[in-house]
Amino acid sequence: MTVYFRILSYLHEYRFRLIVACLCAAGVAGMSGLYAWLVQPVLDEIFIAKDQLLLTVLPLVILGAAALKGLFAYGQAYLMSYVGNRVVAEVRQQLFGHFLRMSLPFHQKHSSGRLVARVINDVNEMANAVPNVIRDLIQQGLTLLVLTGVAFYQNWKLATALLVVMPVSTYAIVKIGKRLRKLAARGQESMGDMASSLKEGFAGIRIVKAYGGEHVEQQRFAKGNTAYLRAVMKSAQLAALTSPLLEVIGIGGIAFIVWYGGFSVIDGQMKPGEFFSFLAAMFMAYAPLKKLASANVFIQRAIAAANRVFEMLDTEHEFVHDRGRATLPAISRSLEFQNVSFRYEGSDDPAIAHIDLTVEFGEVIALVGKSGSGKSTLMSLVPRFYDPSEGRILIDGLDLKEVTLASLRAQIAIVSQDTVLFDESVRANIAYGRPNASEEEIIQAARAGYAWEFIEELPNGLDTLIGENGVTLSGGQRQRLAIARAILRNPPLLILDEATSALDTESERKVQAALAELMKNRTTLVIAHRLSTVQHADRIVVLDEGRVVEAGIHHELLRRNGVYTRLHQTQFHDVPAASTLP
């Protein structure tokens, strides 16, 4: 019931349209009841009493009732569809926005394919059900109520006896509904598995083809596909059973009516018109009862989907846990790591341990070390993708946990080796961090990032669509767009994660010059794998097994003959000759 009420809470904003729709539904129910009631005067007054005036008037009444019923049905169907679809669109938008605000660990735990399935498939289940279900529950419920009223009006004793059938029908509907809900939840889980397999297969299509993995991917997809098929077929089996089961129960009740009512008419206890009006009401009541049973199938699927959707919406996003209340002023002094340690969830060993480091404003600090030494983890703590397990990080003397996430991240730009671009225009990708930037500012950023020369050659210049993750561009072009995006943002704190790794020699030379301009008068943290790119940093910090083991400038570190020296020798002196490579 909690889920029912939660779905209904979304309807409050549309209460006026809902009230009008309910009035239209009442009109449809009233006209259906009128049809059943008119059976009595048609039989008793026209066919038995032979009233010619009524014979003239009654067809006009029936025609008017049909016209009104059609008008009411149109208004009710349109308004219910409007309300239902607006509610579903609101839920879909809310769910996507919620996912965007979830923390990085959440996204690492849940595959993007399964999250896409929640936004698309689960909400679609609600979309398929909500407009039709709301309409049927109100319209068919009112119709059933009115027709039952007509039956009681004609013969309350017979109608009361017939009510014995209702608990039997209700019990059958409830039992089938519970099973349908479980099957729907199982099917939606399988749909999430399929979506995950699809996304990974398409995203890694180069590797799939290079390694001949088409058959492997087909098998992965087949697991989810088969599980989904089983759940769907079991649901279809139960749904198909609902209608015949209710028909047997309903016809059993009607058979009793014919038997008991026939005796009542023969004995003179009922007029023929009363009996046939009662019988018509019962026959007409069967249709809304059947539709309500069918609506139950959609309701159970919608409830299973809504449970999954609300489960995600009830998961607290990172901004809920953001205790920061102060707005971070423009960074002007220093960035400090004070005894900072961090351990990933589920890991016993710290990724970084007891880091003490102070970075003055305007310094260029390079972090170097072997893979797994903690460079990327340390940098992920600065924009608070994670919070330290121990210690604290200060900017201009303020603990990062004391400032809002929005004001912190507004002063940071990141250029990583894994360039992320969106299936939008070149203009939108460069202006991603500053959507209101003028065209002149965008062009200046593109020139500074040495991207303008190839942008001019694109079919539509800045308005050229670049495809998913910039698939139509070369690796170097994608990297230069990412750098132009950071230049336009103009942050006081810049994080470069091997930002020139995808560039050829000529492009790297150009971008290094652009980065040199970009790094002026701002704090820059550089994660470096190639030592040749950081030899002119103000300081080089060497990490090994999550700890700072050395710090200094390039020549000082070489003279110490420590970890940095060994890294340098590996890259520049101990590379095997080409003839010895396998």
Work out the pLDDT band at 462, boundaries 50, 70, 90.
very high
Q: Give whole-number Cα distances, 62 to 39, 95, 140, 246, in Å.
A: 11, 49, 21, 30
pLDDT band of 576, cuts 50, 70, 90: very low
How many residues does this entry show for the chain?
582
State the pLDDT at residue 168: 67
User: Is 442 a residue whose pLDDT tops 80?
Assistant: yes
Asked if 102 contacts 315 with a C-beta cutoff of 8 angstroms, the reply is yes
- Residue 497 pairs with which residues in a beta bridge? 416, 527
Kindly report the number of other CB atoms within 10 A of residue 118's CB atom: 25
Nearest of 522, 475, 523, 465 to residue 499 by alpha carbon: 475
**Percent of the chain predicted with pLDDT > 90:** 13
pLDDT for res 339: 94
pLDDT tens digits, 110-137? 877 778 878 887 887 776 666 666 677 7
Cβ burial, residue 527 (10 Å; 0-12/13-18/19+): buried
Backbone φ, ψ for residue 330 (5° rounding): -55, 130
Alpha-carbon span 134 to 140, nearest angstrom: 10
Contacts of 188 (CB under 8 A, 6+ apart): 117, 121, 122, 125, 304, 305, 308
pLDDT for 186 equals 77
> Is the CB of residue 88 less than 8 Å from the CB of residue 130?
yes
- Predicted confidence (pLDDT) per residue in 292-346, tens digit: 766 777 777 777 788 888 888 888 877 766 777 788 888 888 999 999 999 988 7
Q: Does residue 577 register a pLDDT over 50?
A: no
pLDDT band at 6 (very low <50, low <70, confident <90, very high): confident
Q: Binning pLDDT at 50, 70 and 90, where does residue 501 land?
A: low
Of the candidate ranges 48-62, 169-183, 229-243, the one whose mean pLDDT is the lowest: 169-183
> What is the predicted pLDDT for the residue at 238?
74
Task: With a cut of 90, say whether residue 496 has pLDDT above it.
Answer: no
pLDDT > 70: what percent of the chain?
A: 83
Angle between helices 214-266 and 165-203 (to 10 degrees): 170
523 C-beta neighbours (distance < 10 Å), count: 26
Rounded to the nearest integer, the mean pLDDT of the chain is 80
Least confident of 13-22, 43-52, 304-313: 43-52
For 397-417, the DSSP string reads: TEEGGGB-HHHHHTTEEEEES
| Backbone φ and ψ of 55, nearest 5° | -65, -30
Of 333, 328, 344, 428, give the one whose Cα is nearest residue 383: 328
One-letter amino acid of 466? I
Q: How far apart are CA 443 and CA 427, in angstroms?
A: 9
- Inter-residue contact 110 to 192 (CB < 8 Å): no
Q: Is the pTM here over 0.75, yes or no? A: no
Per-residue pLDDT for 208 more than 80?
no
If pLDDT is split at 50, 70 and 90, which confidence band does 549 have?
Answer: very high
Q: Which two tokens stand for residue 148?
A: 């039952």
Query: How much is the pLDDT for 580?
Result: 30
Which tens digit of pLDDT belongs to each residue from 336-390?
999 999 998 878 889 999 999 999 998 999 999 888 888 889 999 999 988 899 9
User: Which two three-digit tokens encode residue 248?
Assistant: 């047997």
